[in-house]
């Protein structure tokens, strides 16, 4: 038995109205279908900035910002600057990364787009000519929810606080609803401290990492594998190791992370 199916690839699109005409004429809403986002997947939403005459508005010298607010709690969950992809045509792109959509969960959000002009003044942008300034963003769980992923890494960066492993996508990005995860670390003649850190931020900075409680170990001239396991919801995790003797004879060979 054989089947055939069609897969569609397209960007979601919307219009942004800038009221640049006086008068009392109102037009029917144009943008009140939900934008759909699946958690853990990259999503692009393209916007066309148009005036009251429905002609493109030049997007030069303005900065456009999308603010995404949870419909029920009214918590602001994400600010994102739109990328202008064609100034004369007024085309702008909202690019949501997989890490960012993983933070949203399955819910309804209100999204407002504002722009700041060359003088530093901020204005709302309208989703239609009836003075509505919001769009609806509906997020859904990825159908691949529950799939567990494994990654191996041997990359460490020499930083003042220790050797930092690269950041590894954690449970919110692999849809591990239970949150169970583990890490094994292979070392050779290693003396020092191993610590696992996590971040809840899509693009973490220096101060956005915290040690996972009780997920650490002190080793002395140890050759073998150290195992960690814990439960939690994170966007990223990484390993920090702090050797107490020269690194040439004190080696973390690699780690394997399962979430």
Q: What is the CATH number of the domain that holds 68?
A: 2.60.40.3350
Q: Which residues on neighbouring strands pair with residue 257, listed in sequence order?
A: 151, 183
Q: In the chain, how many domains are there?
A: 2
How do residues 60-89 score in pLDDT, each as one tens digit?
888 889 999 888 888 888 889 999 888 888
pLDDT at 27: 43
Asked which of 140, 164, 196 is the last residue of a domain, the reply is 140
The answer on 97 and 177 residing in a single domain is no
The answer on 160 and 101 residing in a single domain is no
pLDDT at 7: 39
pLDDT at 250: 73
The answer on 72 and 175 residing in a single domain is no
Confidence grade of residue 19 (pLDDT, cut at 50, 70, 90): low
Ramachandran angles phi, psi of 200, nearest 5°: -105, 10
pLDDT at 172: 78
pLDDT at 124: 80
Specify whether the CB–CB gap between 136 and 29 falls below 8 A.
no
Q: In this structure, is residue 226 part of a structural domain?
A: yes
How do residues 200-235 score in pLDDT, each as one tens digit?
888 898 899 999 999 999 999 999 999 999 988 888
Q: In this structure, is residue 176 part of a structural domain?
A: yes
The answer on 108 and 82 residing in a single domain is yes
The answer on 24 and 119 residing in a single domain is yes
Q: What is the CA radius of gyration of the chain?
A: 24
The answer on 134 and 28 residing in a single domain is yes
pLDDT at 165: 92
Q: In this structure, is residue 187 part of a structural domain?
A: yes
Q: In this structure, is residue 48 part of a structural domain?
A: yes
The answer on 105 and 210 residing in a single domain is no
pLDDT at 187: 93
The answer on 156 and 38 residing in a single domain is no
Work out the mean pLDDT of the chain and round it to a whole number: 81
Asked which of 89, 112, 140 is the last residue of a domain, the reply is 140
- Sign of the Cα torsion 209, 214, 216, 218 reads positive
pLDDT at 38: 86
Q: In this model, does residue 99 exceed pLDDT 70?
A: yes
Q: In this structure, is residue 3 part of a structural domain?
A: no
Q: In this structure, is residue 205 part of a structural domain?
A: yes
Q: CA-based angle 140:141:145, to the nearest 5?
A: 170
The answer on 166 and 116 residing in a single domain is no
How far is C-alpha 241 from the chain's CA centre? 27
The answer on 202 and 253 residing in a single domain is yes
Query: What CATH number is given to the structural domain containing 237?
Result: 2.60.120
> What is the C-alpha separation between 157 and 164, in angstroms, rounded?
5
The answer on 104 and 199 residing in a single domain is no
* Beta pairing, strands 162-165 & 156-159: antiparallel
Q: In this structure, is residue 1 part of a structural domain?
A: no
Q: Which residues on neighbouring strands pair with residue 71, listed in sequence order?
A: none
Asked which of 140, 165, 198 is the last residue of a domain, the reply is 140
Q: In this structure, is residue 186 part of a structural domain?
A: yes
Name the residue range of residue 254's domain: 150-258
Task: Please tell me the pTM assigned to this model.
Answer: 0.54
How do residues 112-128 score in pLDDT, each as one tens digit?
888 888 888 888 877 76
């Amino acid at each position: 038995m054989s089947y055939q199916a069609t897969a569609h690839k397209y960007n979601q699109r919307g219009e942004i109205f800038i009221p640049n005409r006086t008068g009392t004429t109102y037009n029917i809403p144009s943008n009140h279908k939900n934008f759909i986002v699946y958690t853990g997947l990259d999503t692009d939403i393209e916007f066309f900035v148009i005036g009251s005459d429905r002609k493109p508005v030049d997007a030069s010298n303005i900065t456009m910002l999308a603010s995404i607010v949870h419909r029920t709690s009214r918590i602001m969950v994400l600010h994102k600057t739109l990328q202008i992809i064609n100034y004369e045509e007024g085309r702008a792109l909202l690019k949501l990364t997989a890490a960012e959509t993983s933070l949203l969960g399955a819910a309804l959000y209100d999204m407002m787009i504002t722009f700041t002009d060359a003088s530093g003044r901020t204005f709302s942008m309208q989703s239609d000519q009836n003075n509505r300034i919001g769009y609806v963003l509906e997020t859904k769980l990825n159908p691949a929810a529950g799939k567990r992923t494994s990654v191996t890494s041997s990359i460490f960066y020499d930083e003042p606080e220790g050797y930092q492993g690269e950041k590894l996508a954690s449970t919110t990005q692999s849809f591990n609803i239970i949150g169970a995860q583990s890490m094994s670390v292979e070392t050779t003649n290693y003396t020092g401290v191993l610590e696992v850190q996590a971040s809840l931020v899509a693009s973490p900075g220096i101060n956005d990492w915290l040690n996972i409680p009780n997920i650490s170990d002190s080793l002395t001239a140890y050759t073998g594998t150290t195992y960690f396991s814990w439960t939690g919801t994170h966007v990223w995790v990484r390993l920090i190791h702090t050797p107490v003797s020269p690194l040439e004879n004190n080696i973390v060979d690699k780690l394997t992370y399962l979430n």
